[in-house]
A and B are shown apart, each in its own frame.
Chain A
């Protein structure tokens, strides 16, 4: 941002704000009022400022009013204010450079901050507010957009050229940007992306790594490096990167699922249990994540059974999977069958009996424990006759590769030995 006299900065900002539509979304009426006061003092026009108290009202206002500036509480009832960012971008697809998205919240947790950072918001302001801090933060964010630095101008131009397919031009712009910033990780990240498009994965990897040398938590460099390593099937190195991503950006359900898959691929079974503890802290657990967590616990448990060192540990993992499964019968069947396979009949019966219709009420599930016992017996019978039992995971599922390995060794040798072979994500 070009250095301006503070008075001139304030004037520029007031001029910018005077014509901008603003949406303030917060369940607290007093918080909305306080923010409205701050923006009014900064130069916003009251008739261009809309106040709403819920996510749905905010969605409607974004669709109808297309605000340039959205100020949202992170906790908007049952929804997250962060979700409004995408809606704002969709409402003004060609003007994202002039729009601001600000979170103002009492949520100080690192998970909320990291999730917001991943979405590339413009500012994250804590409550209780300090009006002067709000003014300075909003003004700084806006001036960075109204009067971007030379570094940002070069990056934006490079991005535009990349989007137009002019890779040479884009690469030149990103390269020109490097000396314009003391820590040009963003330029390196985009150079890496150009190299990826050009299929020069080794060079791309170097660029992302150079970006991380400047700044070890640069998000685009971390994600770029991870993607390249996965393309190169360097799973051990990819796992290190995704672990760092999880450390700095915890509680992203999609990433947790990726971490679980990689942990299984490279045999980091002890980490599965640590990630399970993360899972139990998450507020939003979508179906995919539940499936992956259960699958990871079951595969992990089977591995421990196969080593004959960790029966107790295996049983604990199966218990956790059963609890997490919450009545999902395919998971429970796999657990029971694994226990029967290793002649842990008492445990297998206990697991089946535990899942009574009353304890795991699920509207879609009508089978009870007797059906489970019957199925388990039926499956055991099928196996005795040499018929294969259905796999836990569908064809093409990432884990099915690992499962197939487990089964081949089990049937071939009578003793399980897991080969850590990369099968690649689905």
Chain B
């Protein structure tokens, strides 16, 4: 006979006031604009709609970029800003310089885009931690919510 299961902590439901039927914030997603510039080539800023923030790593990130935007060892500048209604639009999240560690061509036959693995060089530590926490914190909430809903 095992230990008697203990009563768990209350599940992570979104906090609601009693008379609050719906929260407008529930309908809004975090959206980011990522601006990228290759400092070596001196080319202009790649428009945000062509840049995707694909992965976050250990003081590193992976960006989806148009092919030819940069190459290995290039110095780059990255600006990430909020683009959603729940934050002040354009509110800066992270400004950093970095170095391209690797360029990954896609396994699919796509010559138009690449994945650039970038190590951060100059950045604000607090801003970086806030960016990580923004997504890791939300991911944790989501995992708890799914577990509570399914039971």
Task: Give me the interface of A with B, judged by CB distance under 8 Å.
Answer: 28-34, 36, 46, 51, 106-114, 116-118, 120-121, 123-131, 133, 137, 179-186, 189, 211, 214-221, 243, 246-248, 250-251, 271, 274-275, 277-278, 281
Judge whether A183 and B56 touch: CB under 8 Å.
Answer: no
Q: Would B54 and A34 count as touching, CB distance under 8 A?
A: yes
Docked pose: A426 CA to B99 CA in angstroms = 64
Q: Is B91 an interface residue (CB 8 A)?
A: no
Q: Tell me, in angstroms, the Cα distance from A1 to B118 when the chains sit together.
A: 38
| B126 part of interface (Cβ distance < 8 Å) | no
**In the assembly, what is the distance between CA of A182 and CA of B106, in Å?**
46
Q: Report the separation of the CA atoms of residues A174 and B11 in the bound assembly, to the nearest whole angstrom.
A: 22
Residue on B with the closest CB to A211? B151
Which residues does chain B contribute within 8 Å of A125, judged by CB atoms? Answer: 139
**Binary A-proximity of B70-108 (CB < 8 A = 1, otherwise 0):** 000000000000000000000000000000000010111
Are B54 and A128 neighbours in the complex by a CB distance under 8 Å? yes
Residue B28 at the chain A interface, CB threshold 8 Å: yes
* Cα-based distance from A109 to B43 in the complex (angstroms): 35
Q: What are the residues of chain B within 8 A of A111 when measuring CB–CB?
A: 26-27
Q: How far is the CA of A110 from the CA of B7 in the complex (A)?
A: 27
* Residue in A109, A118, A211, A274 with the greatest tally of chain B CB atoms within 10 Å: A109
**Interface residue B14 (Cβ < 8 Å from any Cβ of A):** yes
Residue of B nearest to A127 (CB): B54
Interface: B31 (CB within 8 A): yes
Other than the given A111-B27, A211-B151, A274-B22, 20 more pairs (CB < 8 A) read: A29-B106, A29-B112, A30-B114, A51-B108, A108-B135, A109-B28, A109-B29, A111-B26, A117-B145, A124-B142, A128-B54, A130-B135, A131-B55, A179-B5, A180-B5, A215-B148, A219-B149, A219-B151, A247-B14, A250-B26
Contact status A129-B56, CB under 8 Å:
yes
Q: Given A33-B115, A108-B30, is A183 in contact with B55 using a C-beta cutoff of 8 Å?
A: no
Contact A215 B11 (CB under 8 A): yes
Identify A109's interface contact among B6, B27, B57, B62, CB under 8 A.
Answer: B27
A137 to B20, CA, bound (A): 33
Closest chain A CB from B71 CB (angstroms): 17
Chain A residues with Cβ under 8 A from B24's Cβ?
277, 281
Alpha-carbon separation in the docked complex, A36 to B54 (Å): 13
Which residues of B have CB within 8 Å of A124? 142-143, 146
> What is the CA–CA distance of A120 and B151 in the complex, to the nearest angstrom?
11
Contact of B151 among A28, A129, A218, A243 (CB under 8 A): A218
The residue in chain B whose Cβ has the minimal distance to the Cβ of A46 is B107
Nearest 10 A-B pairs (CB), nearest first?
A: A30-B64, A182-B5, A186-B151, A185-B151, A110-B26, A109-B29, A117-B149, A217-B13, A33-B106, A128-B53
Chain A residue contacts of B151, Cβ below 8 A: 183-186, 189, 211, 214-215, 218-221
B150 to chain A, nearest CB (A): 7
Taking a contact as CB atoms under 8 Å apart, the answer to whether B110 and A133 are in contact is no
Shortest Cβ gap from B133 to chain A (Å): 12
**A147 and B142 alpha carbons, distance in the complex (Å):** 23
A416 to B68, CA, bound (A): 73
Return chain B residues, CB-CB under 8 Å to A29. 64, 106, 108, 110, 112-113
Q: Are B27 and A250 in contact (CB under 8 A)?
A: yes
Report B-chain residues with C-beta under 8 Å of the C-beta of A182: 5-8
User: Within the complex, what minimum Cβ distance (angstroms) separates B4 from chain A?
Assistant: 8
Q: With A28-B52, A217-B11, A271-B21 in contact, do A126 and B135 touch (Cβ < 8 Å)?
A: yes
CA distance A24 to B5 in the complex (A): 39
A to B CB contacts below 8 Å, 5 in the list: A34-B62, A130-B55, A179-B5, A181-B5, A281-B24
CA distance in complex: A121, B26 (Å): 19
A302-B146 Cα distance, complex, nearest whole Å: 41
CA distance A211 to B151 in the complex (A): 9
Residues of chain A within 8 A of B145, CB atoms compared: 113-114, 117, 217
Expressed in whole angstroms, the Cα–Cα distance for A106 and B113 within the complex equals 19
Tell me if B46 counts as interface (CB < 8 A to partner A).
no
A108 proximity list for chain B (CB < 8 A): 29-30, 135, 138
Complex-state Cα separation, A102 to B137, whole angstroms: 19
Q: In the assembled complex, which residues on chain A have CB atoms less than 8 Å from the CB atom of B61?
A: 128
